Structure 1
Amino acid sequence: MNQSNWKNFISTGLVDNSAIPDFVSNSWQLCRRKQVDPFQIKPGKILTANELRERKKMNKDLIDNVTRDISQLSTALNLDQPVFILTDSYGNIIWRSGNYQALSEANDIYFSEGSAWDEMNAGTNAIALAMSEKQAITVSRYEHYVVASQSWSCVAAPILDENNEVVGVLDVSTYNNESALNCQLFIGLIAQKISNDIIKDRIRAQQELLQSAVNNLDNRILCDMNGRMVCIPEQVQHKYDLRIGDFITDALEKHRLTCTKTPISTQQSQVGYAYLIEKSEAFHEDFYYSGAHSENKQYNQFLKRVVQVADSNLPIHIHGESGSGKEIIAETIHYNSGYRNGPLVAVNCSAVSENLLESELFGYAPGAFTGAKSTGNKGKIELANHGTLFLDEVDSMTHKMQAALLRVIEHKVVTPIGSDKPRLVDFRLVTATNQDLKEAVQKEKFRADLFYRLYVCPLEIPPLRDRIEDIVPLISRFCMRRNWYINWQDKIFKVAKDFEWKGNIREFNNFLERVYVFYRHNEPTTAELQRTLVVGTLKENSPLTTDTWDDDGHRDFNNSKATIGRAQRPAGYPKYNGDYSGNHRNAPNSDYRNDPVSNHGVTVGRETEVLKDHDEMRSVADIASLDPSTVEREHIIRALEQHKYHMTNTAEALGISRSTLYRKLKKYELDHK
């Protein structure tokens, strides 16, 4: 195929089906619909070094099989400047080898380890089509959708498992020549041989896992290496309606279970995992609640009260400290109320100015003001009709907005800006603050008449420091969601239990995120955990005691103080006047490759390659020198990538609202696609 066919398609969208294969034509059209940039110089996504390391670890057997068999291909065929590529099941390149000059050319287009080579990130290419077609595919020169790939000719074959699912793709590409196209049959045979070897290994592992199931006497759920359940105790199966073959993570998430996870190994290798569901005194198995199980009597009583008031139609006001989970409680109220089948519409009243908040809440008629949509716009109040309207930080409203909201509540009608036609609305109102609303009324910052409308059923969220026993299930839930097996969770609890946690669950999750980033592959000392904790705290956020710890995890009574006081900053530790709610004085604007946390890899929108592996863990001095805003920026990047840039899921994982997430994306100059 010549270049004119490609140029004609890019300019007109028309395809000459007689000149190109159907699978290439279909892929071009898909890329055009999805707005893939044909002139991009790098794929849309590149893994960070930590993510790449994890993918390699997960696919170690696959990589070993390929490196053993690929030598046959390089010696049996006469290939001119070849590059050999292996991807995982998502099209991420996890291994690469080949001719030195060709590898150098491949680097120019980021055809390297860590790059995502699926259609949405790299356009039409052999790897992507082998994944979708599940057969050996050739794509040469101008059949590629993206210009950067048009100097290459490629042949790729999928590696399939026993369920005919793609576990990887083997690719051979040659630069400025088409010699790769001659080895389609050969590479297909090698891919098939690797598939057979993988299936044999998995059958052996399943046999050994089933042998473990025979000896399973302690009510554990046994899973294979992919997380599929292969053995479920009868009482557990009946209680939670679990099925063999389903993924354990889906079951745990659905039923909001916490568990202990341990690997199952034979003399040869690891063959699976065992999950032991932890008993809980939590009562909330019969109603919706997306938070972690609580072992605290006070918090469970609070949840009972939440469910009681949710069953009414009365307005509810939630008061809780920053990071205590007000959005989760609002969600709990909605999904346990008579309005559960309607929408839950949340608005952060402090996130926008008065004028914007007015149009956000009430909507506007066509042509209501300069820049208004010609079709008008429904406001949040109208969108919440027959559902729940959640107004967070309602105390930040101006008196004018308070008066307007009061009229809506009293008359159950809303009039869009620029319209004279009121519209009837019926919704459940839930409000929240982290300030004392009564005190705001006394200081005349909040209208008393609106207060009495909102403060009908007040709820007070217990802070984390009053339910220390919940730290254990919070740690367990975090590790489960990260698929992170560690045998030193008790060490984290030992450090965390004596801390005040004024930022509550959000602050605690931030601490766990730092521990995960810094100590994912090695166990820290107690002193290192303490330093990792303190780096993200405010000055007044202090441990309940000022005991210090030595590196063996024992209290250092020579340096400890018996009185309750502020957190002691270690010698040489940087002072910090910010917090994790976004109030940093200096957000980093430097190039990503200079970021002390992020310099292991690349994120979208940064012109850097995946760097070679550094030391597995930074020193304590490195941790001490980090700007907390830098740590937070890395957390956001990782959460965005993990949740595929889904804003709601990312915000939930970070423990913040969507509006707060958008503010932080703007602050750190991050692209949210």
Structure 2
Amino acid sequence: MVDGAMSKRLWKQFIQEGVLDSSRINKRIIESWYRCQHSGVNPHSGEGREILTGKSFLQKKEENSVLLDIALPYLDKLNQHMKGSRSTVLLIDLQGYVLVMKGDAEILGRARKINFVEGVKWTEDEVGTNAIGTALRTGEPINVKGAEHYSIASHVWTCSAAPVRDDQGNLVGVLNVSSPVQHYHPHTLATVVSTAYAIEHQWSLREQQDQLELMQRSIDLLQTNQLMAIFNRRKQMVCVNQAFQSAVPEWSNLNLADLREYGYRERLCTPLYSARHSQLIGYCIQFEAPSKSTSSKKFYTRSLHFPGETGISKVFQQTLREIELVAHSDADIYIHGETGTGKEVIARAIHQNSSRKNGPFITVNCGAIPPSLMESELFGYVRGAFTGARRHGHKGKLEQANHGTLFLDEIGEIPPAMQVALLRVLQEREVIPLGGMKAIPLDIRVITATHHDLRELVQQGNFREDLFYRLFVFPINVPSLRERKEDIPYLVKYYCRQKNWPVEIPDEIMNKFIQYDWPGNIRELFNALERMRIFCGDESPDLSHLPPLFASTDLSSPGEQSNSIGGSNTLTLREQIQKEKIIQALQKTGGNATQAARLMNIPRSTFYRRLQKFNL
């Protein structure tokens, strides 16, 4: 951390000139300053603007009742520990609202002067770089001292914050200690982090106790002939009675949304509260059996574990049916689909639903391995096989996949010489490492995938016909995203769940998503959402965030295209090329600006200036 005078000079230089010496300041502070600059945060202000009071604040506390119930005893201990240190201790929720604020009366009074009070929203978008908002954004502990704050109102403060996560690793809030700069103690952040860990440990312990109590309560509740199931407070099914198990044998693979799709409807939902702490621990739900017209809906996927989003489109449901049919066999499989459709996810689903699921799943991208290394990568080699070989040899991918699944992605890129060698291995089911004499028996299933048309490659003489027929045992086609547009809302929700992004995508944006043809398929959709998440944070996105998300401008109306800053009609040819390269770099890195700058081999400060210039 730089001293106060230095950080003040760096701050002034950044605010006045937009340039920054990145070697003199914490990386996370730099990233935050650029986010604040891009979001239009006023660096000369920084007072709290949005403050919940009365019923709205009580409702916010109710929404975070579990966090408060678990964390308050630790907050009191921390406050007692910090007594006399001229500090204030805070607990903040996932949206950045201050739920509890304790501390010395004098310091609380000074905090009120900038509206740093209970109920205030203290995020980067509201008040600029600060320990609370930046910890929420990055999910990492951080210390922000003096002029490291983006807005001048907080330059007299030092804040130390650590994220708090629940038993499943989801971010639920932030613990923070703030004090005037002159009273900063270097051990404060360590104290905050250790207290946050203690809260997380208590959370995990409580969840275990709640689960045990829920199971004990369910013994009596499930003694009925009605279709009855017990769910935890997250609406995850934990146990069912005999009647339900007979009706839905694969119930453990399903959730409440699945049951509704199958036609099961809740007749009665009874909340269950803990006898220990009076908080909600689960639900006892009685179901009505589905009518005959809906009872068979999607039941063919009940026993299939799919590590992604299944959606509702008929074309992808057919793909799922094929996965389920072939997974239990030992046939080799050929997966065809455009780039970004999720061919590796399909391959993993086949492996996870097969008898080989406890064996290895080895992936080889044939297009990413130089031809000169392909043989040693696949077949391995023994000690001393060639100059530069490892001392103890190397086990090839074929042998690594023994008793499991070998996934050869982009099989169309495999060089001709290796096609001959691979054909022999598939026919004889044994491999001889380079420099070796002894054949190693192979018990593997081979799954191949490509975005090429292998039949066309065979006709062109670029792929062996005999190898084609060896691989083309059970073909599976993965539909493009434009063929399954009804799945886009489900894929968007899946992404939000995976990234713990608590926002609702507005209908107008969802409609734009559905209108777009997505040449990059699901990968492009997820990259677009990732960039939107970076730009918007926990705020709901709007249409203004759409134009810079895609290389194509199909999502914007003609008027929006002409008015967008940095539009192609206002740029020189050189600037257009620069903009396209930036967009491509961001797409390749999933929206990570630091990695994109490194990929383009330009300074990060230059990269951020160009982002601002082109309104990206």
TM-score range, shorter chain: 0.5 to 0.7
1:230-251 Cα deviation digits (max 9, x unpaired)? 99999999779999xxxxxx99
Q: More helix by proportion, 1 or 2?
A: 2
**One of 546, 550, 557 as aligned partner of 1:536:** 550
Task: Write out aligned runs for 1:453-464 (5 A).
Answer: 453-464=470-481
CA drift of 1:160 comes to 13
Structure 1 residues 493-552: Cα deviation after superposition (integer angstroms, max 9, x where no partner): 200111111111111111111222223344444x425414xx43358xx67xxx82878x
Evaluate the alpha carbon distance shift between residue 434 and residue 401 of structure 1 in structure 2; reply closer, same or farther with a 3 A threshold.
same
Retained in 2: the 8 A contact 1:173–1:180?
Answer: no
- C-alpha distance after superposition, 1:246-288 (max 9, x if no partner): xxxx996998999xxxxxxxxxxxx9999999x9857422112
Alignment of 1:204-603 (within 5 A): 281=298, 283-525=300-542, 527-532=543-548, 535-537=549-551, 548=557, 572=570, 574=576, 576=580, 579=584, 580-581=587-588, 587-592=599-604, 595-596=607-608
Q: Which residue does 1:564 correspond to in 2?
A: none
User: What code does the residue aligned with 1:450 have?
Assistant: L
Query: For residue 615 of structure 2, what is the aligned residue in structure 1?
Result: 625
Q: Deviations over 1:143-168 (max 9, x none)?
A: xxxxxxxxxxxxx9xx999xxxx998
| CA distance in 2 between partners of 1:68 and 1:468 (Å) | 52
3-state SS in 2 of match to 1:472: helix
How many Å apart are 1:433 and its aligned residue?
0.4
Q: How do 1:87-106 residues align onto structure 2 when only pairs under 5 Å count?
A: none
Query: Given the superposition, is the C-alpha separation of residues 83 and 379 from structure 1 closer, same or farther in structure 2, using an over 3 Å criterion?
Result: farther
Q: Is this contact kept in 1: 2:250–2:303, CA < 8 A?
A: no
- Do 1:339 and 1:386's aligned partners in 2 also have CA atoms closer than 8 Å? yes
Shift of 1:412: 1.1
Q: Distance in 1 between matches of 2:522 and 2:316?
A: 13
Alignment check: 8 A CA contact 1:538 1:576 kept? no
CA distance, structure 1, for counterparts of residue 134 and residue 72 of structure 2: 20
Q: What is the CA-CA distance between 1:289 and the residue it aligns to? A: 1.1
Q: Deviations over 1:409-445 (max 9, x none)?
A: 1111101111111111111111000111111111111
Give the alignment's TM-score, normalised by structure 2.
0.54
Query: How far apart, CA to CA, are the structure 2 residues paired with 1:347 and 1:43?
Result: 38
- For the residue of structure 2 that corresponds to 1:404, the secondary structure is helix
User: How far apart are 1:359 and its partner, in Å?
Assistant: 1.4
Return 471-480 or 581-590, whichever deviates more.
Answer: 581-590
Contact 1:281 1:295 in 2 (8 A): no
**Cα deviation, residue 355, structure 1:** 2.6
2:392 match: secondary structure? coil
Q: Given residue 551 of structure 2, which amino acid in structure 1 is its aligned partner?
A: T
Deviation at 1:292, TM superposition (A): 0.4
Q: Which residue of 1 aligns with 2:275?
A: none
Would you say how many aligned residue pairs link Structure 1 and Structure 2?
437
Cα 1:320–1:176, aligned 2, differ >3 Å: closer, same or farther? same
Partner of 1:24: none
* Change in CA separation of 1:44 and 1:358 when aligned onto 2, cut-off 3 Å: farther
Contact 1:346 1:392 in 2 (8 A): yes
Cα gap change, 1:581/1:406 in structure 2, threshold over 3 Å: closer, same or farther? farther
| Residues 257 and 385 (structure 1), Cα distance of their counterparts in 2 relative to 1, 3 Å cut | farther
Secondary structure of 1:497's match? helix
User: C-alpha displacement at 1:471, in angstroms?
Assistant: 0.7
> Which residue identity does 1:375 align to in structure 2?
H
CA contact (8 A) 1:324 1:461 kept: yes
Native 8 Å contact 2:229 2:237 kept in 1: no
1:388 maps to a residue whose letter is T
Q: 1:58 to 1:550 in 2, by over 3 A?
A: farther
Alpha-carbon distance in structure 2 between the residues aligned to 1:113 and 1:47: 16
Instruction: Mark the CA change 1:470 to 1:445 in structure 2 (over 3 Å): closer, same or farther.
Output: same
2:169 match: none
Shift in CA distance, 72/47, structure 1 to aligned 2, threshold 3 Å: farther
Deviations 1:16-40 (A, max 9, x none): xxxxxxxxxxxxxxxxxxxxxxxxx
How well do the aligned residues superpose, as a CA RMSD in angstroms? 6.3
Which one-letter code corresponds to 1:536 in the other structure? Answer: F
Whether the 8 Å contact between 1:256 and 1:293 is mirrored in structure 2 is no
The alignment partner of 1:351 has SS state of: coil
Q: Deviations over 1:586-634 (max 9, x none)?
A: 93434445553999xxxxxxxxxxxxxxxxxxxxxx49533xxxxxxxx
2:513 maps to amino acid: A
Whole-angstrom CA distance in 1 between matches of 2:259 and 2:604: 37
SS of residue paired to 1:345: strand
Q: Which runs of 5+ in 2 are unaligned?
A: 1-23, 37-47, 49-62, 108-129, 142-160, 167-171, 211-227, 262-278, 288-293, 591-595
Q: In structure 2, what is the Cα distance between the partners aligned to 1:479 and 1:295?
A: 18
Matching residue's letter, 2:601? N
> What amino acid sits opposite 1:344 in the alignment?
F
- Kindly indicate whether the alpha-carbon contact (under 8 Å) linking 2:598 and 2:604 is maintained by their aligned counterparts in 1: no
Give, as a single letter, the amino acid of the residue that structure 2 aligns with 1:511. Answer: A
Contact 1:282 1:294 in 2 (8 A): no
CA 1:453–1:43 in 2, change beyond 3 Å: closer, same or farther? Answer: same
Give the aligned residue type for 1:297.
K
Write the letter of the residue equivalent to 1:381. L
Cα distance in 1 for residues equivalent to 2:545 and 2:438? 60
Could you say if the C-alpha distance between residues 357 and 257 of structure 1 is closer, same or farther in structure 2, counting changes exceeding 3 Å? farther
Residue equivalent to 1:209 = none
Alignment correspondent of 1:662 = none
Q: Distance in 2 between matches of 1:537 and 1:257?
A: 39
Q: 1:517 to 1:113 in 2, by over 3 A?
A: closer
Aligned to 2:45: none
Change over 3 Å in CA distance of 1:394–1:429 after alignment to 2: same
Decide whether the 8 Å contact of 1:306 with 1:333 is kept in 2. Answer: yes
> Hey, what's the Cα distance between the residues in 2 that align with 1:97 and 1:589?
48
User: What one-letter code is carried by the residue in structure 2 that aligns with 1:457?
Assistant: F
Q: Distance in 2 between matches of 1:490 and 1:624?
A: 27
SS of structure 1 residue aligned to 2:580: coil
TM-score (norm: length of structure 1): 0.50
Unaligned runs of 5+ in 1: 1-40, 101-110, 123-155, 182-186, 207-218, 244-249, 259-270, 560-568, 600-621, 627-673
Tell me if structure 2 keeps the 8 A contact 1:316–1:430.
Answer: yes
Q: In 2, distance between residues paired with 1:391 and 1:515? A: 33
